[in-house]
Amino acid sequence: MALNERDFLNTPDELGNFGPYGGRFVSETLMAALDDLEAIYNKLSKDPEFQAAFDKDLAHYVGRPSPLYHAERWSKQLGGAQIYLKREDLNHTGAHKVNNTIGQALLAKYTGKRRVIAETGAGQHGVATATVAARLGLECEVFMGWDDIQRQSLNVYRMKLLGAKVTPVHSGTKTLKDAMNEALRDWVTNVDHTFYIIGTVAGPHPYPMLVRDFQCVIGREARQQCLNQTGKLPDALVACVGGGSNAIGLFHPMLADASVKMYGVEAGGLGVATGHHAAPLNAGRPGVLHGNRTYLMEDADGQIIPTHSVSAGLDYPGVGPEHSWLKDCGRVNYVAINDDEALAAFRKLTLVEGIMPALESSHAVAYAEKLAPTMAKDQIIIVNLSGRGDKDIHTVAKLDGITLG
């Protein structure tokens, strides 16, 4: 398909469609709440006071702008393009997720709802939600798959310390997708007084749009920082994609910059060819789940199939609908990195630059390692370091056969 800016810059349409993707596929009970949210967001997103409140929180609570760091030693070792890290790991709570929860918490405050709920995989979005809920004095309940609770115990305890109730989800595959099912069920039941803070650019309209808008601060900053530091735009952007919120946040403000190549890195798990992965854009097909039409991992009968990734935050069978559209438009290249490659990149960046990336972000790091040597030394890659790796130390230690206290 020929590249046409108009196809992907003015999205979504008023029904929440990104080309054939997106939309609002939920049971009738939620339609009124989504209509309300859309109306409130359309109003507030154009309101200078709301934007000022958002920017103020990002500056003084989150600690923005996050640095754009030239990883000189690592770049030199790879012998190709210069790699810059967008340090979302330095945000308050340790990942990009908080950009969005700050924004949605402001929306929740505006609606006057006293309770917020969230789904979480790796726990980063749960922590970011519990954090803003604590700050605003809102009741908070986070749904988390039982398997994810086992592999992310640190974040579970963090959420509890922040005053959130963490509810284990035992249905289905006991991971992120099931947590989202349970959050939607809770929302249907408590819709009168509950605001659902979705953590990624998926779900029913207007979530993919508003989460993207809140995360676009990443790309706006990175673009300007790159111009300031190097006098030119980056040649390539690399970000990991589970639901895809950190990636869309980095990519979207530069979609119109035609010279900037973009790479979304999905979780290849044990290898895309093995079927044990979480790479719907690489190996799935379009379908409808969690309120939107998008690429999915599904069987021949339309049942969602179990995914596998060493990183809980990427272990999801769907992806934000805008990514599906950007894939079909050919604007973004979607690639996959396997578990072992991500783990190696986790260790490498830690040793070479003293920066420990989250296992999710390690997928982007690993792809940049492949990409940089194919590019010239005066070219620039920006890697979105979407989160820090402290939460993953137990997982890595376990793979090393070490039990931590």
Partner 1 sequence: MSRIKACFEQLQSRGRKALVPFITAGDPSLDATVPLLHTLAENGADLIEIGIPFSDPMADGPVIQLADERALANGVTTIKVLEMVREFRKTNTTTPIILMGYLNPVEIYGYAQFARDAAAAGVDGMITVDMPPEASKPLNDEFAKVGIDSIFLIAPTTLPARIEKIAAAARGYLYYVSLKGVTGAANLDVEAVQQKLETIRKITDLPITVGFGIKDAATARAVGAIADGVVVGSALVNLVAQHQQDLTTLKANIAETMRSLRQGLDQV
Interacting residue ranges for partner 1, rule: CB under 8 A: 15, 23-33, 171-172, 177-178, 180-181, 184-185, 188-192, 285, 287-291, 296, 298, 300-305
Nearest distance, CB of residue 8 and partner 1, angstroms: 21
Sign of the CA dihedral 403, 74, 83, 336? Answer: negative
For 84, the token pair is 């810059």
For 194, the token pair is 């509950």
Nearest distance, CB of residue 146 and partner 1, angstroms: 14
Nearest distance, CB of residue 321 and partner 1, angstroms: 13
Distance CA 177, CA 192 (A): 24
Nearest distance, CB of residue 23 and partner 1, angstroms: 6
Q: Which is nearer to partner 1, 65 or 306 (CB)?
A: 306
Q: Which is nearer to partner 1, 134 or 188 (CB)?
A: 188
DSSP per-residue string spanning 32-89: HHHHHHHHHHHHHTT-HHHHHHHHHHIIIII-PSPPEEE-HHHHHHHTSSEEEEEEGG
Nearest distance, CB of residue 55 and partner 1, angstroms: 34
Q: Across the strands, what pairs with 380? A: 82
DSSP per-residue string spanning 154-218: HHHHHHHHTTPEEEEE-STTSSHHHHHHHHHHHHHHSTTTEEE---SS-SSTTHHHHHHHHHTHH
Closest by Cα among 221, 301, 225, 277 to 253: 221
Closest by Cα among 239, 245, 237, 285 to 261: 237
Count of CB atoms within 10 A of residue 329's CB? 18
Q: Which is nearer to partner 1, 31 or 52 (CB)?
A: 31
Nearest distance, CB of residue 41 and partner 1, angstroms: 18
User: What number of helices (H) and strands (E) belong to the chain?
Assistant: 17, 14
Q: The sheet that has 261-269: what strands, in order across it?
A: 68-70, 82-87, 380-385, 236-240, 261-269, 333-338
Q: Which is nearer to partner 1, 202 or 247 (CB)?
A: 202
- Asked if residue 317 lies in contact with residue 278, where contact means CB atoms within 8 angstroms, the answer is yes
3-state secondary structure 147-171: HHHHHCHHHHHHHHHCCCEEEEECC
- Asked if residue 362 lies in contact with residue 343, where contact means CB atoms within 8 angstroms, the answer is yes
Q: Which amino acid is at 126?
A: G
Q: Which is nearer to partner 1, 302 or 330 (CB)?
A: 302
Q: Which is nearer to partner 1, 22 or 219 (CB)?
A: 22
Any idea which residues carry the catalytic annotation?
Answer: 97, 119, 386
Q: Which is nearer to partner 1, 49 or 301 (CB)?
A: 301
Distance CA 246, CA 367 (A): 16
For 97, the token pair is 């997720």
Nearest distance, CB of residue 18 and partner 1, angstroms: 14
